[in-house]
Amino acid sequence: MHELGIVKHVIKTLHDVANENNVRRIGSVTLEVGEVSGVVLDQLVDCWNYFREKDPLVKGAPLFVERVPAVTFCTSCEKEYPTVAHGKTCPHCGSTETYLLKGNEFSIKQIEAEVNEDA
C-alpha cells in the first residue's frame, strides 16, 4: 500500500508550506489524482483520515480528491481518446503509436489554511 507513503509525503509538504507561509492550521486539502496514476482512492482517504488525527496542523481537515481523466494521443491520426476505454490502441485508426497526455498526475491543487496574524 503505497498510499501510506503518499499521505506522509503530502503531510510533510503541507508542513513545509505552512512554515514558509506562517500557517497555523490547514482547513482542507484538495488533490488532483490521475485516473491511471495507480493510486487507490479509498486507501488514500483512509490513510489521510488516520494521519490527520495525529498531526495538529491537519487535525480534522477534510481531503478532497479531483480525478483527472486519462487521455491518450495518437501520433498517426493526431486524435485524442479516453485511455481506460481503449488502452494503447487508437480507436480511430488502430495505431499503437500513442502516448499518454494526462491522467498519471498526482498533485496538491489547493490548500485552505488559517494564517497566524501576529507574526
φ, ψ at 58 (rounded to 5°): -115, 10
- Predicted pLDDT of residue 117: 81
Owner of C-alpha cell 494526462: 102
- Predicted pLDDT of residue 65: 98
In one-letter notation, the amino acid at residue 99 is Y
- Predicted pLDDT of residue 116: 86
- Predicted pLDDT of residue 119: 56
- Please list the residues that pair with 31 across neighbouring strands: 65, 108
Distance, in Å, from the CA atom of 95 to the CA atom of 7, rounded to the nearest integer, reads 38
Q: Which of 106, 114, 84 is nearest to 37 (CA)?
A: 106
- Predicted pLDDT of residue 73: 99
Burial 56-78 (b: 16+ CB within 10 A, else e): ebbeebebeeeebebbbbbeeee
pLDDT in tens, 22-63: 999 999 999 999 999 999 999 999 999 999 999 999 999 999
Distance, in Å, from the CA atom of 89 to the CA atom of 98, rounded to the nearest integer, reads 7
Helix (H) or strand (E) holding 6: helix 3-21
* Residue ranges per structural domain of the chain: 3-69+103-115
Fold type of domain 3-69+103-115:
hypothetical protein PF0899 fold (3.30.2320)
**Rounded to the nearest 10 degrees, how much is the dihedral formed by the CA atoms of 11, 15, 17, 21?**
150
- Predicted pLDDT of residue 82: 98
pLDDT in tens, 68-119: 999 999 999 999 999 999 999 999 999 999 999 999 999 999 999 999 887 5
